[in-house]
Amino acid sequence: MAYASAGGRLRDRLSGGGFAVTAELGPPRAADPGPIRRAAAALRGRVDAVNITDNQNAHVRVSALAGAVLAMEAGVEPVLQVTCRDRNRIALQSDLLGAGALGVPNVLLMTGDHPRYGDHADAAPVFDLDGTGLLGAARAMRDEGRLLSGRPLDPPPGWLVGAVVDPFTPPAEMGAAPLAKKVAAGAEFVQTQYVFDVAAFARWMRDVRDRGLDERCHVLAGVGPIRSLRALEYLSANVPGVRVPEEVTRRLRGVPGDRVEEEGVALCAETIAALREVPGVRGVHVMAPGFTHAVPELLDRAGLPGGE
């Protein structure tokens, strides 16, 4: 069954061979649309799409679907994140259908953090599906016009389907195997964990190309500025899959405390420029929590005015 495309700037950028830029927007912990509208206004015209996070880090926020609608109203194309932590397969498919009905053009599907890490540590985790299973369900909904139950969908949704991947998942010899699994399940684009070690990422991308995965899936490298030494320590010690090379640590520790943020922004801009030279990289995903207003300047410094 053919599906009706939801269209969208991100789809067009990727299918046209351009260098895509996405950013991240975390909904507020309050019944207030203002923060989403203000962040969307700062990013409008500068990025191809904006991820709307789904109760990120297992903390209660405005729902991602509501955030996606508010972003569209503000003139920014959303990438709706959907995690498996809080919903069974009925609710997951329902939310995906809702996104299709509301015209959300992109979805990013992931397993999600365990509730123990969030603000309701005693909440019951669901995980009826994992991220890979949800990818398969979404592709069946879109491409085959059917639910997991086998019941038909007419018309089916038309979103672009994405996933997340960690290039530095140990053991190192796994290389791009986790990405291959998600591509086989149906991922059309992936956004990676933060990349600070461009050389190591380039080696991972070589394995991606050797497996032919870059021809089947668009890889967007995750980037973001390290704005303080506290953030540097947190990323290095507490965020799985983040590899901060020693030269980055030396550089950030080698400037006065009041210049760490500026140095982190400069380093991020240089990283984006370097990633554009890595064969197979189709874009970047900028993660700058609490710093969304500065993303346009960051893109300017990286040589990406107007999202290129």
Radius of gyration of the chain (CA): 19
Our count of domains for the chain comes to: 1
Q: Report the C-alpha gap between 290 and 225 in whole angstroms.
A: 11
Reference 220, options 49, 61, 93; nearest CA is 49
What pLDDT digit, counting tens, does each position of 70-106 carry? 999 999 999 999 999 999 999 999 999 999 999 999 9
> Is the residue at 188 inside a domain?
yes
Which domain range does residue 208 map to?
A: 9-302
In a domain, 183, yes or no: yes
CATH number of domain containing 261: 3.20.20.220
Residue 48: is its pLDDT beyond 50?
yes
Is 4 within a domain?
no
Q: Which two tokens stand for residue 235?
A: 């990323």
Q: How confident is the model at residue 2 (pLDDT cuts 50, 70, 90)?
A: very low
Please name the amino acid found at residue 62: V
Percent of the chain having pLDDT more than 90?
90
What is residue 308's three-state secondary structure?
coil
* Cβ neighbours around 112 below 10 Å, total: 25
Q: What is the DSSP letter of 146?
A: B
- Give the whole-angstrom CA distance, residue 123 versus residue 136: 27
The reported pTM is 0.94
Residue 132 belongs to some domain of the structure? yes
Q: In this structure, is residue 17 part of a structural domain?
A: yes
* Torsion angle in degrees (nearest 10) through CA of 165, 169, 175, 178: -40
3 falls within a domain: no
Q: Which two tokens stand for residue 198?
A: 């461009």
Provide the pairing of β-strand 160-165 with 106-110: parallel
Residue 190 lies in a domain: yes
